[in-house]
Structure 1
Amino acid sequence: MPIRRLPLPLLLTACIALAACQRTAEDTAPPVETVEVASPEEGGAVSSAPVDVDAVPAVPVAEPDTGGVDWSPMTLPAGTASISCELDYANAGDGTPLTAFDHDALREAMADCAERGVFRLRFKGRVTEDFTRLMKRLAVVADELSINKRVLDIDSSGGMVEEAIRAGDVIAETRWTIWVREGAVCHSSCVFLLAGGDTRLIGGRVGIHRIIRMSSTASTRAELNRELRAVYGRVRDYLERNGAAVAVADLMMAVPNRSLRILTPDELKLYGLDGVNPAQDDLDRLRLMRKCGQDFVARRDAYARAFDTTCNAPDRDVEQMANCGLELRGKFGFPDEQCPTESPLSEFDLVGALTAAAGNASRLRILGVPVGEPRPAARPTTPARATPAPAPAAVSAESRAASEPADEGDAAADEEAEAPVP
């Protein structure tokens, strides 16, 4: 059959139209932002663990029961940590600095938070073995004091990959909300911590790059690639079990470790690193259906979609998102009379009820609920493992879809003002 050729004028018109479409797509695509880092070894994503390049990488899942935690003496040389019972960091600051990390010291630091049932750990620094040990210890003490609402308020340029995976599994097992406040960063291996959180609220910057093999014996590109393939296999396993996209690992491979690829808000949602953890959301949906009923779950889902479209905007900081979420939930019948502690942002109700009883007239600027003056000393409690906190009903990757189609040294600063932890 002879090939029919388009008339020249028609062919030119088609080419011009195609070029215009391509330019439009290029013009509307968000720019990819990369920044240079001075010394990635000081933060970044560093791997030094031995690997067997011929074996399937093991999945280093953390022990669910953190009761057997190691209480041997430790310090925190690569970072600073403080404890606060307040979620209003803008007015109340970051609480009491931790200078001792034994059981009694941590229990004393967290005792006042037992009445409220919520505490916030502000951590600035690198992810190391000491950070993982701290997260395990805090989870044990929080269980003893029945503090079910836990916020990790982080500002980190990264650190050891294997420790970030171990710490992320601890975070996943012990039910934490993670904030990256405005002005804070979560770079390199810190991204793995985000994957472990029940809920993530991000007002700062999140960046990724290649993993550095500090203990590598490779002398060729092929040898280095075999080593990295084993390490990235562990990373993919970790991301998959925590509901994050394994594409994050693939994207890391393409970014030199002297640079950082800053993830956009859309990418964070796409990769399951922002809002409610989709894996945890599935578990909570089943549990809440049994406990609170189908109507509760339906309203919770509707609230999550509304939060995504109304409150979780790139131009808002953590404080503004929390305030917006608190104002929004009344439209969906929250707090729920039958399941108040499972309702979205229920941690703020705990704070409000306690301080109102104390008769304090001052009000939190971002919460609109009374803030306590001196709190009564926490009553002694019998150590017991607390029931895990429910997943926040604020922002889930699935709900969003329903509503709408290492580094330079530690940066200054820091998840939803516990906003999405119900």
Structure 2
Amino acid sequence: MLRRFWWSPLLCIGLSACHPTDPGRTPAAADPAAALAADGDHMVSINAADAPPAPAAVKPARDAPWPEVVLENGKVWVSCDADYTGDAGDGPLLEALDRETLDAALEPCRERGLVRVRYAGKINPSFATLVTRLAVVADAMKIGKRILDLDSSGGQVEAAIVAGDSIGDAGWTIWVREGSICHSACVFVLAAGDNRLISGKVGIHRMMRISSTATSRAELNRELQEVYGNVKDYLQRNGVAVGVADLMMTVPNRSLRLLGSEELKQYGLDGTNAVQDDLERIKQMRKCGDDFVRRKDAFLIAFDRQCKLEGSDLETVTTCGQALKEHFGFPDETCPDESPLSEIDTALLAMPAEPLPALAPAEVAGEQQRNGS
């Protein structure tokens, strides 16, 4: 059984002034990009001129060579199974980010059509490259169900936004499972998921600026305003309340503000991505019909009320959701891939020992009426 479900403002200019001399400590890097490797648990922003190149926006051709990229400060495991508690665990460790290695890692997932990528490490440019390349390979293999299983203390704001935009275009469900964290810049990655299931800890704090030339609070504030403006635009296009960015400003970078389950819902960081939900409703209304959309709306309301309860573990929540789907006629014969929770590998999820009580037609209609359908 899994564990429970529910789910520094000035940069110390000289690290030696903040910490006693330690032979084992990595010295501060003069290169702003290299400084990302030694930023501990901070959330950093770097000047645009110092930023490493972002992954190419245009997906490379199948036979085009990929530039060599080394994954820094992170590890990746690839599995074709949504169940990480079984014998396979998180799957084999990914050894490199070249096309041949990624093809070999995802090939076993082609038949099932589901891949789960476990990432533990920093949010940095190589992570952004990772998610972009994974999407290219998954698209080529027609692996439509994608789960990004995160455990990260944070990293670079700009890299998180690049990664998030790639994730938002590629249909990822994001997990923060029990025992895992998503702190600092990781929250921007979390924001981009089509759906988010959270059982670990999500926390935020203020960012600090690498290569800052500020000598006063006013100057530092002016430097950060442009960054926060980009952050707010990013949050808005992912259906997350911009109040998250405002709250970040109030928490010193050396501190951490954990978000409770209700706050995660209020800020739009938990569950279905509101913007993606609107987009899917438009597409599904055309493809699957009004009745499908009404049933899906009713299911999502019931799922929040009956399954995502305080103290429930991730296994219980997903199992409850699979059982609840039957009450609302899912998976739908006409639109199985658009059915809710379709990214979960249902064949490997045990059903509850005691099935949920059947919902009467009047109860289903009541859920739909409460949703305004």
Contact 2:76 2:118 in 1 (8 A): yes
Give the total of aligned pairs.
315
CA distance in 2, matches of 1:296, 1:115: 27
Three-state SS of the structure 1 residue aligned to 2:252 is coil
- Name the residue aligned to 2:234: 238
The one of 113, 131, 134 aligned to 1:135? 131
Q: Is the 8 A contact 2:74 2:119 kept in 1?
A: yes
1:93 is paired with a residue of what secondary structure?
coil
Give 3-state SS (helix, strand or coil) of 2:163's partner: helix
Give 3-state SS (helix, strand or coil) of 1:158's partner: coil
Assess if the C-alpha contact under 8 Å between 2:42 and 2:254 holds in 1: no
**C-alpha displacement at 1:246, in angstroms?**
0.5
Letter in 2 for 1:83: V
Aligned to 1:72: 67
Cα deviation 1:299-352 (Å, max 9, x = unaligned): 000000001011112312222211110011111011112212211222446x63
Aligned with residue 295 of structure 1, among 288, 291, 295: 291
Offset of residue 232 of structure 1: 0.5
1:366-377 equivalences in 2 (<5 Å): none
Kindly report which structure 2 residues correspond to 1:174-253, keeping only aligned pairs within 5 A, or say none: 174-253=170-249
Contact 1:319 1:366 in 2 (8 A): no
C-alpha separation in 2, matches of 1:316 and 1:65: 41
Letter in 1 for 2:182: C
Q: CA deviation at 1:171?
A: 0.4
Relative contact order higher in (CA < 8 Å, ≥ 6 apart)? 1
> Partner of 1:274 in structure 2?
270
Task: State the distance in 2 between where 1:151 and 1:205 align.
Answer: 18
1:44–1:187 contact (8 Å) kept in structure 2: no
Match of 1:125 in 2: 121
- When Rg is computed on C-alpha atoms for both structures, the one with the higher figure is 1
Alignment of structure 1 residues 7-86 onto 2, 5 Å = 41-50=39-48, 65-67=58-60, 71-86=66-81
Q: CA deviation at 1:175?
A: 1.0
Q: Following the alignment from structure 2 to structure 1, what is the Cα–Cα distance between the partners of residues 159 and 209?
A: 14
Match of 1:284 among 271, 280, 284: 280
Give the aligned CA root-mean-square deviation in angstroms: 2.4
Q: CA deviation at 1:41?
A: 2.8
Determine the C-alpha separation between the residues in 2 that align with 1:63 and 1:174. Answer: 15
The C-alpha deviation readout for 1:149-175, integer Å capped at 9, x for no partner, is 111000000000000011000000111
Deviations 1:278-313 (A, max 9, x none): 000000001001111000000000000001011112
- TM value normalised by structure 2: 0.80
Deviates more, 1:316-325 or 1:231-240: 316-325
What is the CA distance between 1:77 and its match in structure 2? 2.3
Runs (5+) with no aligned partner, structure 1: 1-37, 52-59, 353-362, 369-398, 404-422
Q: Does the CA-based 8 Å contact 1:81-1:98 persist in structure 2?
A: yes
Maintained 8 Å contact 1:49/1:162: no
TM-score by length of 1: 0.71
2:83 aligned to 82, 88, 108, which one? 88
Unaligned runs of 5+ in 2: 1-17, 20-37, 354-366
Q: Distance in 2 between matches of 1:310 and 1:72?
A: 48
